Amino acid sequence: MATHMSRCRTWSRVQRYGIAAYRKYSSGGGYPNISLSTPLPGIPKPVFASVDGQEKYETKITTLENGLKVASQNKFGEFCTVGVLVNSGSRHEAKYPSGIAHFLEKLAFSSTAQYGSKDEILLTLEKHGGICDCQTSRDTTMYAVSAEVKGLDTVVSLLSDAVLQPRLLDEELEMTRMAVRFELEDLNMRPDPEPLLTEMIHAAAYRGNTVGLPRFCPAENVDKIDKNVLHSYLRNYYRPERMVLAGVGIEHEQLVESARKYLLDVKPVWGTSSAPNVDLSVAQYTGGIVKMEKDMSDVSLGPTPIPELTHIMIGLESCSYLEDDFIPFAVLNMMMGGGGSFSAGGPGKGMFTRLYLNVLNRHHWMYNATSYHHSYEDSGLLCIHASADPRQVREMVEIITREFIQMGSSAGEVELERAKTQLKSMLMMNLESRPVIFEDVGRQVLSTGKRKLPHELCHLISSVTPGDIKRVTTKMLRSKPAVAALGDLMELPSYEHIQAALSSKDGRLPRTYRLFR
């Protein structure tokens, strides 16, 4: 009986797929042999979503009566990211002790008028599957919450309380002082010097003004910052006309309704001032050098310690993100690319960028060569970070200055197209993430009052020509260099020699003759 049933099943498969499509296996079973390019029989034809490369949802912006902007971008899903962005950061601390933004970042989402402690806030968010975070940069402070869409009312209420009604208790300030001291200690001990070098290059490029002011609280200011200093700062900068409530994944009308309810007529805990004392200084690029002699021999101990390295960062003034040249500078930065010498290669890693081809592939002793582009509302900085053995610092500096000079040579068609494609790819991949869309919406609306959509940015990137790259490079090379140096600096060339190399035709350092080495 069992044999008869097995034969029946086999015959039904033969009838269904045909004898050619039926293959007998040694196990006695059978499997249909159908080409992967042929639709499976008996299966409904799939209907795929069409993609036109443009976002279906526009960014909607509403300005409330008190000057607060509400911006939203709808996105499919059950979760949303909502937050408040404030036009406030370390660049605004000229009239205050440096470190206030650093303190506010650590104090965010602590006890408020409505919530007795940070734990209460986290438990409230937990009911809606939510998390919160605060980040400060040189020009922006961002309070953000990701939670379920149905908890929007609670989220906006909580954000309003966290931004405008913090208690700033003595014990919270003391805990923040401990956290800041630990972070400063960690900054000087970590193997990755990039955050410290970024701080140093800004201090060199914008000496004592705006974005050159320290982002991390200096150790001598930790005890100077108290509740009165914070309230004085908040009274001037945490004003509705300097804020944006941004949301991604929610309906605009709902967000505006919640904003009116919780952010329109709320009196901040520090009171209001009729004439705010806001620092409107424009960034003044000065150029210069900041050096830190440091023993880097024991940075990373263990079975495979990192060798002793000297780190150099050289930068030149680029442009603000409000200027048309911002896009060509972004393409130039992508074209330079670079990375670490032990970075595993692969698609999208930029192994054909100039700093890989011309530097890391040719000079085995260089451990790192990476290009960075920092841009602000009134200035910008394009820099190259390089690291090598302390004995080869002079040679490393000359290689970097030569790369800066060669930026001015005409970019090859293939090289330029690759950089533009890579930039567009990075842009589109990053904007698949909801928190990244939130930050993009918030920052653009805060700085320009509107938002350029990804397809508009892609069009601008595609329009960049070799002539644009040459023009912005020529303009950049006219500025004085900013130099940051960390580690054993015995072989570091003088600032004047670096400046002379960047003014020459070939980027070579002036020859020096020493009687004794």
pLDDT confidence bin for 341, thresholds 50/70/90: confident
Q: Which residue range(s) make up the domain with 419?
A: 288-503
Quickly tell me which residue has 């200690």 as its tokens.
185
What is the percent of the chain with per-residue pLDDT over 90, rounded to a whole number?
Answer: 77
What is the DSSP pairing of strand 79-86 with strand 243-248?
Answer: antiparallel
Residue 66 and residue 423 in contact, taking contact as beta carbons nearer than 8 Å: no
Considering the domain architecture, whether residues 223 and 341 belong to the same structural domain is answered as no
> Which of 229, 264, 299 represents a domain boundary (last residue)?
264
Per-residue pLDDT, 16: 52
Tokens read off for 491: 């072989």
Residue 516 lies in a domain: no
Considering the domain architecture, whether residues 210 and 163 belong to the same structural domain is answered as yes
Per-residue pLDDT, 26: 47
Residue 423 lies in a domain: yes
CA dihedral 318, 319, 320, 325 (to 10 degrees): -130
Considering the domain architecture, whether residues 253 and 388 belong to the same structural domain is answered as no
Task: Give the closest residue to 245 by CA, choosing from 92, 81, 90.
Answer: 81
Per-residue pLDDT, 179: 96
Considering the domain architecture, whether residues 208 and 325 belong to the same structural domain is answered as no
Considering the domain architecture, whether residues 297 and 426 belong to the same structural domain is answered as yes
Considering the domain architecture, whether residues 416 and 467 belong to the same structural domain is answered as yes
Residue 321 lies in a domain: yes
Considering the domain architecture, whether residues 294 and 250 belong to the same structural domain is answered as no
Q: Where are the beta strands (DSSP E) in 126-179?
A: 131-136, 141-148
Considering the domain architecture, whether residues 214 and 299 belong to the same structural domain is answered as no
Residue 17 lies in a domain: no
272-322 per-position pLDDT tens digit: 877 788 889 999 999 999 999 998 887 776 777 788 999 999 999 999 999
For 333, how many CA atoms within 13 A lie in the half-sphere containing its CB?
26
pLDDT confidence bin for 231, thresholds 50/70/90: very high
Tokens read off for 269: 């805990």
Element (H, E) at 60: strand 60-63
The CATH number for 129's domain is: 3.30.830.10
Element (H, E) at 218: none
Q: Where are the beta strands (DSSP E) in 99-253?
A: 131-136, 141-148, 243-248
What is the spatial distance between Cα 138 and Cα 214, in angstroms, rounded to a whole number?
9
Q: Using alpha carbons only, what angle is made at residue 339 by residues 306 and 297, rounded to the nearest 5 degrees?
A: 20
Report the range of poorest mean pLDDT among 34-43, 202-211, 213-222, 320-329.
Answer: 34-43
Query: Rounded mean pLDDT of the chain?
Result: 90
What is the spatial distance between Cα 83 and Cα 145, in angstroms, rounded to a whole number?
6
Span 191-214, average pLDDT: 95
Helices (H) and strands (E) in the chain, counts: 16, 14
Considering the domain architecture, whether residues 349 and 216 belong to the same structural domain is answered as no
> Which of 232, 264, 296 represents a domain boundary (last residue)?
264
Considering the domain architecture, whether residues 489 and 343 belong to the same structural domain is answered as yes
Collapsing DSSP to helix, strand or coil, 175 comes out as: helix
> Which of 248, 264, 280 represents a domain boundary (last residue)?
264
Residue 201 lies in a domain: yes
Give yes or no for residue 476 having a pLDDT over 90: yes
Residue 3 lies in a domain: no
386-411 per-position pLDDT tens digit: 999 999 999 999 999 999 999 988 88
Considering the domain architecture, whether residues 303 and 258 belong to the same structural domain is answered as no
Give yes or no for residue 475 having a pLDDT over 90: yes
Residue 10 lies in a domain: no
Give yes or no for residue 474 having a pLDDT over 60: yes
Sequence-ordered alpha helix ranges (H) in 337-477: 354, 393-406, 413-430, 434-448, 454-462, 466-476
Per-residue pLDDT, 208: 92
Considering the domain architecture, whether residues 163 and 87 belong to the same structural domain is answered as yes
In sequence order, the 6+-apart residues with CB closer than 8 A to the CB of 470 are 408, 409, 410, 411
Give yes or no for residue 15 having a pLDDT over 90: no
Q: Domain total for the chain? A: 2
C-alpha to C-alpha distances, 92 to 88, 140, 187, 234, 455, nearest whole angstrom = 6, 10, 23, 11, 33
Give yes or no for residue 25 having a pLDDT over 50: no
368: phi then psi, degrees, rounded to nearest 5 = -155, 145
Span 58-70, average pLDDT: 95
504: phi then psi, degrees, rounded to nearest 5 = -85, 175
163-199 per-position pLDDT tens digit: 999 999 999 999 999 999 999 999 988 888 999 999 9
